[in-house]
């Protein structure tokens, strides 16, 4: 069932903030066109796992992307390979316009205008509201629209794999569902996604596989089809 070579593979990945070890020798992988959820309670190290992949924290272990080791401590180099993280809190450039935010997403675009417009059309197709708001100051939009912009901006970078850190945080349930639905569409188009979520039931609806993190370790690999009820999920959390 598993492909011979996962697109992303972390081996013995650990991370520390000062003297605190937030991630302890984690092994995980993502296969082509797969949506993998990373679940766990607050403080389990979910965000740290994504930050470690991006080289934003001091890490040990290795991360391989398409079979090649990624540089450590060089976020720009990691991002340049098409590994794009939509960070917790979205990280949009608030004082700048929606259009400028999207342009910055395509900062590394080498090709000409045609490729830029192709990417932009894809973003507008997914989030038509961004097209209406192109000239608006990004920081003045609603939380949901900002999250759409953050994802849209990431798509402008033409990601080969998309990492999302709690995209549902602070959003109304309806908006949350809308955004997760877009992620499903993107994944069906073949984009591998790693989705970090505290709201496990939502993520499990989309994911093909899930990792459960606790205290910086992966404590379970979950097959969403086997988790039919909240009780079963709770068993994983408290096992």
Residues at the interface with other proteins (CB under 8 A): 54, 56, 75-76, 79-80, 84-85, 87, 91-96, 100, 103-105, 107-108, 153-154, 157
Please say which residue, 11 or 103, places its beta carbon nearer to other proteins: 103
- DSSP secondary structure string, 118-129? HHHHHHHHH-HH
Q: Is 86 exposed, middle or buried (0-12, 13-18, 19+ CB in 10 A)?
A: buried
Nearest approach, Cβ of residue 104 and other proteins (Å) = 5
Judged by CB, which is closer to other proteins: 49, or 79?
Answer: 79
Residue 133 C-beta: closest distance to other proteins, Å: 18
Residue 62 DSSP SS3: strand
CB of 161 to other proteins, least distance (A): 13
Q: Where are the alpha helices (DSSP H) in the chain?
A: 46-53, 75-80, 98-105, 113-126, 128-132, 143-156, 173-188, 200-206, 230-238
Beta bridge partners of 59: 15
Q: Are 118 and 106 in contact (CB under 8 A)?
A: no
Which run of H or of E encompasses 222? strand 217-222
Q: Is 108 or 235 the residue whose CB approaches other proteins more closely?
A: 108
Residue among 28 and 54 whose Cβ is closer to other proteins: 54
Q: Considering beta carbons, is residue 95 or 143 the nearer one to other proteins?
A: 95
Least separation in angstroms between residue 63's CB and other proteins is 15
- In the complex, minimum distance from the CB of residue 169 to other proteins, in angstroms, rounded to a whole number: 16
The whole-angstrom separation of Cα 39 and Cα 166 is 10
**Count of other CB atoms within 10 angstroms of residue 138:** 24
Rounded distance between C-alpha atoms, residue 123 and residue 143, angstroms: 18
Retrieve residue 115's tokens: 């490729």
User: Looking at beta carbons only, is 95 or 128 nearer to other proteins?
Assistant: 95
CB of 67 to other proteins, least distance (A): 21
């Amino acid at each position: 069932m598993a492909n011979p070579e996962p697109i992303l593979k972390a081996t013995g990945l650990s991370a520390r903030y000062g003297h605190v070890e937030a991630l302890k020798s984690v092994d995980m992988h993502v296969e082509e066109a797969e949506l993998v959820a990373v679940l766990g309670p607050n403080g389990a190290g979910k965000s740290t796992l994504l930050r470690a992949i991006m080289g934003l924290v001091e890490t040990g272990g290795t991360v391989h992307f398409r079979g090649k080791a990624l540089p450590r401590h060089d976020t720009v180099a990691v991002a340049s390979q098409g590994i794009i993280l939509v960070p917790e809190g979205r990280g949009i450039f608030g004082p700048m316009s929606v259009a400028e935010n999207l342009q910055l997403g395509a900062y590394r675009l080498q090709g000409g205008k045609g490729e830029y417009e192709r990417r932009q059309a894809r973003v507008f197709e997914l989030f038509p509201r961004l097209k209406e708001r192109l000239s608006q100051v990004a920081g003045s939009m609603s939380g949901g629209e900002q999250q759409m912009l953050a994802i849209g901006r990431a798509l402008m970078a033409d990601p080969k794999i998309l990492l999302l850190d709690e995209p549902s945080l602070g959003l109304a349930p309806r908006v949350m569902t809308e955004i997760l639905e877009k992620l499903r569409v993107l994944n069906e188009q073949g984009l591998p996604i790693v989705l970090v979520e505290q709201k496990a039931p939502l993520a499990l609806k989309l994911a093909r596989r899930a990792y459960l993190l606790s205290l910086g370790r992966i404590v379970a690999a979950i097959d969403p089809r086997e988790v039919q009820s909240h009780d079963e999920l709770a068993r994983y959390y408290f096992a």
